[in-house]
A and B are shown apart, each in its own frame.
Chain A
Amino acid sequence: MLPLVSLTLFLPLVGAVLILCLPKPATRTVHVIAIITAALTLIGALSMWFQGASGAGFSQVEELQWIPAIGAAYRVGVDGISLPLVLLSAVLFLVAVIYTSSLRERPRAYIALVLLLETASIGTFTALDGILFYVFFEVSLVSMYFMIAGWGHEDRQRAALMFFIYTLLGSLPLLLAILGLYLGSPEPTFDMRAWIENPPLEGAAAMWALIAMLITFAVKIPAVPLHTWLPAAHVQAPTVGSVILAGVMLKFGTYGLVRFALQMTPDAFREAGVVVLILGVVSALYGAFAALAQSDLKRLVAYTSVNHMGYVIVGVAVAAITLDPSVRTVALDGAVLQMFSHGLVTGALFLLVGMIQDRAHTREMGELGGLLKTVPMLGWTFVLAAFASLGLPGLAHFPAEFQIFLATLSASPAAVVVILGIAIIAGTFLKALRETFLGEPRQRWQSMPDLSAREWLAVGPLLVLTVGTGVAPSWVLGIIHRTTSALAL
């Protein structure tokens, strides 16, 4: 029996080391190795996907002793919540390295960082040990810092620094929570399965641990008011950095919200559920309004992420509050599917914005215009991705948001005001489409080339998956549902 999870997890790291060890490799070689590595990783993720996950608990668990004296071990495994996210990461990293294969500036270090980040991301989703989770969680931070600081845009140093300090400050409370869970366990262990099965903390201690986790994950998600690092980081990050940041790394926050906050301190979460729910509603609405106010296309997409992640928070909070297991299942199904869909759609949008920027060297919507006529293929793909993002039925976000709203309606009807966010986001994107793509083509952009084969390869798979998930969500939902319906809280 192959250790599939570990293989998938460490393949990118092996690729990164290989690239760093080659003496003066040609740029082309570096990109070829990167694409092969990412493709193999995707194959690994797909095999994990087809192995599937049993209903309750974790499947495909691999375990190796590390520090038995304190109950820490290398433990990885998946369930229906993490499996879609692993697949999403593998897909996004593959399209990211395909997109980046035109990079000429210090490609070796950049690709090594991207691949390191891939290991960290898959590791975060598959770790079943508290320390291991934290390790991957933080490693992702470091690689993203260097990606922004080294290859970002004009004001990258400041943005990178802000990102690093903000999220490090944000993630340290989680360390305290992990230590609290460890010291609270009847038999000291860092095994997350044990923490989930038998939540070690109760009463005030659990509430403190929950507060610490909420701070960490609210920064990562990001939830208002801890979101201010996000626009700065996105605007300065290189395109691939944005794709991964929004597509994969924001999910660390929401995944942690489910895995840690909901599963390890369920009673405290139930008590604090209303607060989290309000946080989610405010976040979703604020993100939508802020997106409406942007004139920079990339900032706009960044703020729609705040909105979409807000729905996920709402879904998880509803799952915590409700006493009806069937409602909880619907809410969690929606929340997990929303993470998956958001990765696909926002990944595509950031790629497309990056392509526009590569051509026009601006992201100001006022300066663009009429692009649908100059570059029809790029234009129509953007339109498709934008419609997906605003929740059009038949595209990826719809089934997810629909389930979240449905559960919200039956658990805490007042929170359904969050649905307004959809209308605002729709307005945002329609305005963006009008300014950027409609109207008469401008003289300046006459010679703009349309999508190249490389760009098709990058954005195409995401759009296919977006439509696929929208039309027939059951291929993802099946796996999610099996776990969420067996969840005992």
Chain B
Amino acid sequence: MARDLALLIPEIAVLLTAVGALIAEMLRRPQIALLVAVSGLIVATGLTVSLIGEDTTVFGGSFRVDELSVWAKLILLPATILAIFLARVDVRGTVREGTVYSLLCFATIGALVLAGAGDTMFLVLGTLLTGLATFALVAYPDTDPATEAAMKFFVFASVTGAIMIFGLSYWFGAAGSTLLADLPGMDTMPMAVLLGFVAVVVGLGYKASLVPFHFWAPDAYEGGPLSIAAYLSVVPKIGALFALAQVVRDLPPESGWTAIIAGLAVLTMTYGYLAALAQTNVIRLLAYSSIAQSGYFLLGILAVGASELALPSIILFAAAYAAMNLGAFAVAASTGRTLNDFDGLGRAQPLIGLAMVIFLLSLVGIPPLAGFVGKFLLFAAVIDVQYTWVAVVAIINSVLSLAVYLRLVVPMYRQGNVVVARTDIWLKAVLIIALTATLLLGVFAQVFVGPFA
């Protein structure tokens, strides 16, 4: 018991942080709530470092402390800090400022629970926890679009969540246990395996905004505060994708799950970028881009269990994706929500312009930026398991994505209206951290790949 709790110290720290921020909010001290949230998350990140290299489970195998779960903390906790910085810009001085910080911490616990799930019940718990906290966050501005967005988000979550629970009942029936580690025992019942898996894909796919469960994402991103969009596109998504990786680790390989994932990957990437091409609103464009990027994660998931490169590639790409996507959202926060707002940005604000170019090129996967290294390993993993055609589709999509992101870059260097970009200290901090990570992750890739291969 004591050992189990010791291994869960980071999660406990995040929980205490969330509660602490909530108490500060009850005392009407939003600054203190901010301070508690940020310092608590930093402490939790620090506590995680000592767990690197652990590969064990706690509480009878129901929660895993392995490379996925540890790296999820090391990636998602700093990402949450950056999202809190962005949120500070959005909600400063509003009535319930402190609740935002607290809810962000609660949602992050949900994502961490997902990433370490060793039991199907944790999948349910994680999706509910992130869901409940983020509905409220999307609705926070209390405007009509925000309320509508939150409503859509909520209805979608309820339906997909119900489907997932229904499907999990098949697994429970077939395996006689809710533990993921007992899933291999179902290999005599391929139909049950497949039905359950489809249901899990629906439930987690909604959270990770995989096509065709993505419809809520552009609306929720656009309707809610920008910082929440940035948060939703990174933290719950990575949590859900890591959970999917945890699930497929134990699935019998003959059950045909790889074909489902391969199809979803191709669909998600292609549809995401095609839809992004048609957007004029930057937030919607970034929303569709983040949908497409989920498809790239699936490449790594496809290789889980069969290639040594699978887990390192997913983890490295998650870190890269968190940095570059948060960076791009931060630039949008400083500039504006329509493509026209970006006219002349690169000339008026050369440094912000340069940062945006770097984030976008990294999203395309241009070397030597972080996104390239991540995608490169993902491609290697998927080719390693003989799904070369998926890698080819992914590569063609990378070219398509260039057209998407250049739609933002080209107006930035046009002779345009003088751009009044907001340069808040919080925004600057996010930009600098995200930029540093995007530039340097590739150089230190060994840190992510090393311990496992």
Minimum CB–CB distance from A79 to chain B (whole Å) comes to 24
Q: Is the CB of B446 within 8 A of A69?
A: yes
**Residue ID in chain A nearest B351 by CB atoms:** A20
Residue in contact with A179 in the complex, picked from B350, B380, B406, CB distance below 8 Å: B380
Say yes or no: is A274 at the interface (Cβ < 8 Å to chain B). Answer: no
Say yes or no: is B60 at the interface (Cβ < 8 Å to chain A). Answer: no
How far, in whole Å, are A169 and B372 apart by their CA atoms in the complex? 15
Say yes or no: is B383 at the interface (Cβ < 8 Å to chain A). Answer: yes
Residue in contact with B449 in the complex, picked from A67, A169, A175, A180, CB distance below 8 Å: A67
Say yes or no: is B453 at the interface (Cβ < 8 Å to chain A). Answer: yes
Q: Is the CB of B398 within 8 A of A172?
A: yes
Q: How many residues on the B side are at the interface (Cβ–Cβ under 8 A)?
A: 33
How far, in whole Å, are A272 and B372 apart by their CA atoms in the complex? 32
Q: Is the CB of B402 within 8 A of A135?
A: no
Minimum CB–CB distance from B353 to chain A (whole Å) comes to 10
CB-CB under 8 A from B172, the residues of chain A are none
Q: Is the CB of B376 within 8 A of A131?
A: yes
Say yes or no: is A142 at the interface (Cβ < 8 Å to chain B). Answer: yes
Q: Is the CB of A179 within 8 A of B379?
A: yes
Q: Is the CB of B445 within 8 A of A66?
A: yes
Q: Is the CB of B445 within 8 A of A142?
A: no
Say yes or no: is A382 at the interface (Cβ < 8 Å to chain B). Answer: no
CB-CB under 8 A from B453, the residues of chain A are 69-70
Q: Is the CB of A70 within 8 A of B309?
A: yes
Q: Is the CB of A139 within 8 A of B367?
A: yes
Pick the interface stretch among A160-168, A235-243, A254-262, A282-290: A160-168
CB-CB under 8 A from B380, the residues of chain A are 70, 179, 182-183
Q: Is the CB of A161 within 8 A of B367?
A: no
Say yes or no: is B131 at the interface (Cβ < 8 Å to chain A). Answer: no
Q: Is the CB of A165 within 8 A of B402?
A: yes
Q: A172-B398, A176-B395, A179-B380 are in contact. Are A138 and B366 (CB under 8 A)?
A: yes
**Residue ID in chain B nearest A131 by CB atoms:** B376
Say yes or no: is B266 at the interface (Cβ < 8 Å to chain A). Answer: no
CB-CB under 8 A from A465, the residues of chain B are none
Q: Is the CB of A67 within 8 A of B445?
A: yes
**Residue ID in chain B nearest A182 by CB atoms:** B380
Classify the interface of chain B: helix, strand, loop or mixed.
Answer: helix
Say yes or no: is A186 at the interface (Cβ < 8 Å to chain B). Answer: no
CB-CB under 8 A from B450, the residues of chain A are 67-69
Q: Mark A39-55, 1 if CB is under 8 A from B, else 0.
A: 00000000000000000
CB-CB under 8 A from A244, the residues of chain B are none
Say yes or no: is B391 at the interface (Cβ < 8 Å to chain A). Answer: yes
Q: Mark B383-398, 1 if CB is under 8 A from A, else 0.
A: 1100010011001101
Interface centre among B312, B367, B452 (most CB of A within 10 A): B367
CB-CB under 8 A from A169, the residues of chain B are 396, 399
Q: Is the CB of A176 within 8 A of B368?
A: no
Q: Is the CB of A70 within 8 A of B410?
A: no
Residue in contact with A139 in the complex, picked from B368, B398, B413, CB distance below 8 Å: B368
Minimum CB–CB distance from A360 to chain B (whole Å) comes to 26
Minimum CB–CB distance from A162 to chain B (whole Å) comes to 11
How far, in whole Å, are A179 and B396 apart by their CA atoms in the complex? 16
How far, in whole Å, are A142 and B368 apart by their CA atoms in the complex? 11
How far, in whole Å, are A173 and B391 apart by their CA atoms in the complex? 11
CB-CB under 8 A from B377, the residues of chain A are 70
Say yes or no: is B403 at the interface (Cβ < 8 Å to chain A). Answer: yes
Q: Mark B426-453, 1 if CB is under 8 A from A, else 0.
A: 0000000000000000010110011011
Say yes or no: is B285 at the interface (Cβ < 8 Å to chain A). Answer: no
Q: Is the CB of B367 within 8 A of A69?
A: no
Say yes or no: is B361 at the interface (Cβ < 8 Å to chain A). Answer: yes
Q: Is the CB of B410 within 8 A of A175?
A: no
How far, in whole Å, are A109 and B379 apart by their CA atoms in the complex? 34
Say yes or no: is A157 at the interface (Cβ < 8 Å to chain B). Answer: yes
Minimum CB–CB distance from A172 to chain B (whole Å) comes to 4
CB-CB under 8 A from A131, the residues of chain B are 367, 376
CB-CB under 8 A from B410, the residues of chain A are 149, 157, 161
Q: Is the CB of B413 within 8 A of A150?
A: yes
CB-CB under 8 A from B383, the residues of chain A are 176, 179-180, 183
How far, in whole Å, are A66 and B373 apart by their CA atoms in the complex? 12
Minimum CB–CB distance from A136 to chain B (whole Å) comes to 8
Q: A172-B395, A176-B392 are in contact. Are A142 and B376 (CB under 8 A)?
A: no
Residue in contact with A138 in the complex, picked from B312, B367, B379, CB distance below 8 Å: B367
Minimum CB–CB distance from B381 to chain A (whole Å) comes to 10
How far, in whole Å, are A141 and B379 apart by their CA atoms in the complex? 21
Q: Is the CB of B367 within 8 A of A164?
A: no
**Residue ID in chain B nearest A135 by CB atoms:** B367
How far, in whole Å, are A69 and B448 apart by their CA atoms in the complex? 10
Residue in contact with B350 in the complex, picked from A109, A135, A149, CB distance below 8 Å: A109
CB-CB under 8 A from A150, the residues of chain B are 413
Q: Is the CB of B402 within 8 A of A168?
A: yes
Minimum CB–CB distance from B310 to chain A (whole Å) comes to 13
Minimum CB–CB distance from B444 to chain A (whole Å) comes to 9
CB-CB under 8 A from A146, the residues of chain B are 413
Minimum CB–CB distance from B411 to chain A (whole Å) comes to 10
How far, in whole Å, are A141 and B309 apart by their CA atoms in the complex? 28
Q: A164-B402, A176-B395, A183-B383 are in contact. Are A69 and B366 (CB under 8 A)?
A: no
**Residue ID in chain B nearest A173 by CB atoms:** B395
How far, in whole Å, are A139 and B361 apart by their CA atoms in the complex? 10
Minimum CB–CB distance from A169 to chain B (whole Å) comes to 5
How far, in whole Å, are A157 and B410 apart by their CA atoms in the complex? 8
Q: Is the CB of B413 within 8 A of A149?
A: yes
Residue in contact with A69 in the complex, picked from B372, B392, B399, B449, CB distance below 8 Å: B449
Minimum CB–CB distance from B359 to chain A (whole Å) comes to 13
Say yes or no: is A10 at the interface (Cβ < 8 Å to chain B). Answer: no
How far, in whole Å, are A237 and B368 apart by their CA atoms in the complex? 25
Say yes or no: is A402 at the interface (Cβ < 8 Å to chain B). Answer: no
How far, in whole Å, are A141 and B367 apart by their CA atoms in the complex? 10
How far, in whole Å, are A69 and B398 apart by their CA atoms in the complex? 26
CB-CB under 8 A from A139, the residues of chain B are 366-368
CB-CB under 8 A from A141, the residues of chain B are 366
Chain A residues 159-209 with CB under 8 Å of chain B are: 161, 164-165, 168-169, 172-173, 175-176, 179-180, 182-183
Chain A residues 120-162 with CB under 8 Å of chain B are: 131, 134-135, 138-139, 141-142, 146, 149-150, 157, 161
Minimum CB–CB distance from B54 to chain A (whole Å) comes to 18
Minimum CB–CB distance from A87 to chain B (whole Å) comes to 25
Q: A109-B350, A135-B372, A165-B403 are in contact. Are A70 and B413 (CB under 8 A)?
A: no
Q: A135-B368, A157-B410, A180-B383 are in contact. Are A66 and B446 (CB under 8 A)?
A: yes
CB-CB under 8 A from B413, the residues of chain A are 146, 149-150
How far, in whole Å, are A176 and B136 apart by their CA atoms in the complex? 44
**Residue ID in chain B nearest A141 by CB atoms:** B366
Chain A residues 50-96 with CB under 8 Å of chain B are: 65-70
How far, in whole Å, are A54 and B53 apart by their CA atoms in the complex? 45
CB-CB under 8 A from A109, the residues of chain B are 350
Minimum CB–CB distance from A110 to chain B (whole Å) comes to 12
Interface centre among A69, A149, A157 (most CB of B within 10 A): A69
Minimum CB–CB distance from B244 to chain A (whole Å) comes to 24
**Residue ID in chain A nearest B451 by CB atoms:** A69
CB-CB under 8 A from A66, the residues of chain B are 443, 445-446
Minimum CB–CB distance from A241 to chain B (whole Å) comes to 15
**Residue ID in chain B nearest A69 by CB atoms:** B453
How far, in whole Å, are A172 and B309 apart by their CA atoms in the complex? 20
How far, in whole Å, are A72 and B396 apart by their CA atoms in the complex? 25
What are the 8 tightest A-B residue pairs by CB atom distance, in nearest-first order? A135-B367, A69-B453, A172-B395, A69-B449, A135-B368, A169-B399, A67-B446, A138-B367
Offer 27 A-B interface pairs, CB within 8 angstroms, sorted by A: A66-B443, A66-B445, A66-B446, A68-B446, A70-B309, A109-B350, A134-B367, A135-B368, A138-B367, A138-B372, A146-B413, A149-B410, A157-B410, A161-B406, A161-B410, A165-B399, A165-B403, A168-B399, A172-B395, A173-B395, A175-B376, A175-B395, A176-B391, A176-B392, A179-B391, A180-B383, A183-B384
Given contacts A66-B443, A168-B398, A169-B396, 12 further A-B contacts (CB under 8 A): A69-B312, A131-B376, A138-B366, A141-B366, A149-B410, A161-B410, A164-B402, A168-B402, A172-B398, A175-B395, A176-B388, A180-B383
